[in-house]
Amino acid sequence: MADTTLAGGGAPAGTGAEPAVETRGRFGDFRRAFLGNKLAVFGLSVMVFFALVALFAPVLAPYDPIRDQDLAGKFAGPSAAHLLGQDELGRDILSRLIYGVRISLTAGLAAVSIATVVGAAVGLAAGYAGRWVDAVLMRLMDVILAFPSILLAIVIVTILGRGLTNALLAVGIVYIPQMARVVRSAVISVREREYVEAERALGAGHAQIVSSAILPNSMAPLIVQATLTLAVAVLDIAALSFLGLGATAPTPEWGAMLTSAFRSGFGVFVQGQHAILFPGLVIALSVVSVNFVGDGLRDAFDPRRKR
């Protein structure tokens, strides 16, 4: 009678116990590696906090971010009534920052989603098909990468027209090549693996091979790159709004808040520094926190950590 047990006293062949144990082990290694990174945990905590603030903005904001104006309190400093002070129109800065979480982070997520979906499709096609398809698609990506990202985003917004929607669309287009290159590299590394050859031997079509064998094993670097790109996307959208190409007044977007304070005149440098300081600090905190999470994911997914 043939021996149906695995070497080393493992579970019987065909029971599926070993893959389940291996999956739990991989998840456990990832969780320990990520949670062991204090900066990554800090960044994740900040992002969860921002998500909760965005969700409960109407409850948390003490004032309406647009309608509640007090021109007599122009650039008034922090007080009991206005914890972070007032802006150039006497609006509560804290309330505008709270509502700005919804706009800025949502715009960043939308831009990254566009870049991820389109970039992943291009990378899959180039890496799996190879030959002339790879050459044509990658040369097109190289052309986009040849331009500085913020300059290309400015050009695209200028063509499409000003506005937050066009700004996030421009940022999404700019970062498509980065996603495509990451996915292409991952696909090339896995398309000749044994499990992919097994799928082909079983008569699976190209769509099934890509969806069941190649794409799942290419997700780790894509997730890391998307997380790191989110930080840059938030910064770029704020920069476009600061230049007057993204969100416009009275929208409580962080970059637009900065440019409104700067355009108010000399008074901002005399008595309204807080109108620039607090939006700048929130932008910096969000970007740094997302970078921490991205670095933590990269280290947790890195197989060399096990050695």
State the pLDDT at residue 6. Answer: 43
What pTM was computed for the model?
A: 0.82
Distances (CA, A) of 205 to 123, 134, 200, 208, 253: 19, 20, 7, 5, 47
State the pLDDT at residue 303. Answer: 56
Q: Three-state secondary structure along 272-294?
A: CCHHHHHHHHHHHHHHHHHHHHH
Token couple for 92: 């509560």
Strand partners, 86: 92
Residues 6+ apart with CB under 8 A from 192: none
* Residue 172 half-sphere exposure toward CB, CA atoms < 13 A: 20
State the pLDDT at residue 89. Answer: 86
Cis omega (within 30 of 0) for bond into 250: yes
In this structure, which amino acid lies at residue 247? A
Residues 6+ apart with CB under 8 A from 243: 154, 259
Residue by residue, pLDDT tens for the chain (307 residues) are 444 444 444 444 444 444 444 445 666 777 787 888 889 899 999 999 999 999 999 999 999 998 888 888 888 888 898 899 888 888 999 999 999 999 999 999 999 999 999 999 999 888 888 788 889 999 999 999 888 888 999 999 999 988 999 999 999 999 999 999 999 988 888 877 777 777 677 766 777 777 777 877 788 888 889 998 999 999 999 999 888 888 887 888 898 888 888 777 545 555 678 888 899 999 999 999 999 998 888 888 765 555 4
Other Cβ atoms closer than 10 A to 49 = 13
Yes or no: say if 274 and 77 are a contact pair by the CB < 8 Å rule. yes
Classified as helix, coil or strand, 86 is strand
Domain 21-64+80-306, what architecture?
Answer: Orthogonal Bundle (1.10)
Yes or no: say if 256 and 248 are a contact pair by the CB < 8 Å rule. yes
Classified as helix, coil or strand, 225 is helix
Yes or no: say if 306 and 29 are a contact pair by the CB < 8 Å rule. yes
In this structure, which amino acid lies at residue 165? T
Yes or no: say if 170 and 160 are a contact pair by the CB < 8 Å rule. yes
| DSSP letters for 211-265 | IIIITGGGHHHHHHHHHHHHHHHHHHHHHHHHTTSSS-TTS--HHHHHHHHHHT-
Any idea what DSSP says for residue 253? Answer: -
State the pLDDT at residue 167. Answer: 93
